[in-house]
Structure 1
């Protein structure tokens, strides 16, 4: 094991998903898998021993939830960061996970590109923090940015509105139009479209064009 690598522990009860995520991790430079577990009790016991720097934690396990595990880790001050992996898309669950300090939230099913992006962001921010004795405001902003979309908003765009739109996208299982999302989050279509197009420009959102028989094509949006 490369001693400079970030150590990773995976908690996942589905053998196939565990296999896929382990394979994804093997394709990444700078990370070493130090353990896996398929239930919460065993995961907590192993994590206390190996003390991984990063835990990829599934939300739904046979004996307890990922949030219960995350709560126990925080109460016992286990110095591990957590990326939550789950099929849950509801706003309340996501907010609760973020409040307990998860550095990212990946919604199943996801492609390698999304997995890679999450771990790359984590690698860059942790390596940068470790090289600095004192943090400047921009360093702190970079670090905390890993728990959100992590981009600076231009004048005219509001952070709270952006968060509502991003959470609205997270809840979607399929790509959605600006009009559909506007109805979901209770905003004007023109407002939602402006934020979505900005996110697409920053490569945080994918745009798919659907062509009908007549008229202009319809844009469908989904988070990358």
Structure 2
């Protein structure tokens, strides 16, 4: 079993990532942290194989956590899962040895492909003492495969989400003429913001919605959502 540690300060994203992780075989979450300092403190006392690391943390950049891990010679691999998409950050993270880089929001297929590729590499490297060139080449990342679909045409809904609630949120979202916050939809449906946010993030990851992140001078960034217009051939796949 591959032991995983998640570093993510957004509670909704953390829950989504945990749910995704549960859907991939041979992985087990051992702990999580919401700040860089907390992550470093816990990783000192844990034996983990893989760290899913966010770049934007409230106290320090994920880069510093990664640098500290390398300095401490921790025997753990790192996959970045972050909204940071500028070229300089991506290049820097690969220079520090991350094995994959997932840009938020991402679909479950991409997450699954990253973990399955890592699992294949981990199993191979823990079963033999020498590798041929062909075996090394086989460790290269594979392309994501299409996920299973529900009756609504969306990928299988994660545990803890209701298809009925999902349809309600889609119905409200697609009627909006301007980007809206989770709070706005929650007020219309009588739901908590955190509940709506989980469904909206799932829709984004499934390609059914888009998120626009607005960064202010202080505090956490604001997330605004819009329904993603589908081609005519795809409209039948939306929840009705």
TM-score normalised by L of structure 1:
0.62
Per-residue Cα deviation, 1:174-218 (whole angstroms, up to 9, x for no partner): x9xxxxxxxxxxxxxxxxxxxxxxxxxxxxxxxxx979xxxxxxx
Match of 2:6 in 1: 10
Q: CA RMSD in A?
A: 2.1
Structure having the larger proportion of residues in helix: 1
TM-score normalised by L of structure 2:
0.58
Is 1:46 the counterpart of 2:39? The answer is no
| Alignment partners' CA distance in 2, 1:100 and 1:142 | 23
Is 1:26 the counterpart of 2:26? The answer is no
Moved over 4 A (4+): none
Is 1:111 the counterpart of 2:107? The answer is yes
Q: Report which structure shows greater RCO (CA 8 Å, sep ≥6).
A: 2
Match of 1:62 in 2: 58
Could you tell me which runs of 5 or more consecutive residues in structure 2 were left unpaired when the two chains were aligned: 144-206, 208-229, 233-240
Give the C-alpha shift of residue 33 in structure 1. 0.3
- For the Cα contact (< 8 Å) 1:11–1:58, is it kept in 2? yes
| Alignment partners' CA distance in 2, 1:90 and 1:29 | 32
| Alignment partners' CA distance in 1, 2:126 and 2:86 | 34
Structure 1 residues 83-102: aligned runs within 5 Å? 83-102=79-98
SS at match of 1:35: strand
Give the C-alpha shift of residue 138 in structure 1. 2.3
Structure 1 residues 1-224: aligned runs within 5 Å? 5-143=1-139, 145-146=140-141
- For the Cα contact (< 8 Å) 1:8–1:54, is it kept in 2? yes
| Alignment partners' CA distance in 2, 1:9 and 1:57 | 8
